[in-house]
Amino acid sequence: MSEAKPTVIVTFRDLWAGWKDAPLSNHGMNEPQALAMSLSTTCLSAIYASPLKRALWTGQAVRDQQPDPKPPFQESPLIREQHFGVAEGRPWSWHQKENLSLEEHFAQGIYPVLHERHQHFPEGESVDDLFVRASRAIDELVMPHVWRAAREGKTEVHIALASHGLCIGELIPALLLKDSQGVHPGDQYRGLRNTAWTRLTVEVEVTCRVTDINRHEHLDNVVRQKGGIGSAAHDPKQQDIRAFFGGGKIANNVDLEEGRSLSNAKDEADVVIQGTRL
């Protein structure tokens, strides 16, 4: 009777897996390799990858197929998947039980799908938290390349981020909101296939806008002198005369030539407005 061969029984279950890491299978690596080959003729300026293996190995595969010199490659925790806290590695359920609060679900080890952006599992991130992190990733990883390209007049600068479905779903809105007309698109960029890619283009344009108009607070303390003095023609010598009688000295070689001011007619002498001499 032959010796029984050892048997491994594997049961696949739907688990919450955000930061929970696992290596890719052989088939799992075929997909990044296919992606890398498809992008091999696109010269990337930089590649950023989540430190979780499923995204990290994808980013490395893309880098390896790039022409020499290879683009800079950097891991960034900012583009990790959403963190599910105590629910990591635990089964998820689509429906909540009636008459049980979320806290009571958690206390019983039940982790249902959360449908509101602000909701989160204990010690985990909400979708709103994920968006804040994604916005930081755009500001720190992507936008420096955008501003540098704009300063140097470069075009066709390609930046690649190897991330995860839920995180990508927030990275896209974070970049779209950089547009002056940007509005958060909600959850429409969810449900991405493994290694599928999405491209956004950024065009830097010169934008001009009026920030101040008719500002005149500097005139608040300017009061017209009484007795007709305010309407008399300005004489720059008057300042020296006042200084002289006040005990000062008249400066030598002072250019006293005066040009007519382009101010209001009321601030100029000998100007007639509707038959009235000022």
86-123 pLDDT tens trace: 999 898 888 888 889 999 899 999 899 898 999 999 99
Q: Are strands 73-75 and 46-49 parallel, antiparallel or unpaired?
A: parallel
C-alpha distances out from residue 72 to 75, 104, 144, Å? 10, 47, 14
Q: Exposure of 21 by Cβ count < 10 A (0-12 exposed, 13-18 middle, 19+ buried)?
A: middle
pLDDT per residue as tens digits for the range 8-49: 333 334 788 888 887 777 777 889 999 999 999 999 999 999
Average pLDDT rounded to a whole number, residues 229-235 = 57
Average pLDDT rounded to a whole number, residues 52-65 = 94
The CATH code of the domain at 26-176 is 3.40.50.1240
Other beta carbons within 10 Å of 204: 10
Average pLDDT rounded to a whole number, residues 195-207 = 82
H or E, element range at 76 = none
What tokens does 232 get?
Answer: 């008399």
Residue with tokens 């590649």: 47
Q: Are strands 46-49 and 159-162 parallel, antiparallel or unpaired?
A: parallel
Looking at per-residue confidence, does 206 or 196 come out higher?
196
Is pLDDT above 90 for 66? yes
C-alpha distances out from residue 149 to 154, 181, 216, Å? 5, 22, 39
d(CA 206, CA 1): 83
Amino acid 218: pLDDT: 73
Is pLDDT above 80 for 238? no
What tokens does 149 get?
Answer: 């390209």
Closest CA to 41 of 63, 60, 67: 67
Please name every residue paired with 73 in a beta bridge, in sequence order, or none if there are none. 47
| pLDDT more than 90, % of the chain | 40
What tokens does 258 get?
Answer: 């005066």
pTM, 2 dp: 0.68
Task: Name the DSSP class of 203.
Answer: -
Averaged confidence pLDDT in the chain: 79
d(CA 16, CA 4): 36
Is pLDDT above 60 for 247? no
Is pLDDT above 70 for 74? yes
- Give the residue extent of every domain in the chain: 26-176, 231-251+262-278
Average pLDDT rounded to a whole number, residues 199-222 = 75
Amino acid 26: pLDDT: 79
pLDDT band of residue 208 (cuts 50, 70, 90) is low
| pLDDT more than 70, % of the chain | 73
d(CA 142, CA 44): 13
Please name every residue paired with 49 in a beta bridge, in sequence order, or none if there are none. 75, 162
d(CA 71, CA 63): 7
Amino acid 257: pLDDT: 43
Task: Name the DSSP class of 140.
Answer: I
Is pLDDT above 50 for 266? no
Please name every residue paired with 249 in a beta bridge, in sequence order, or none if there are none. none
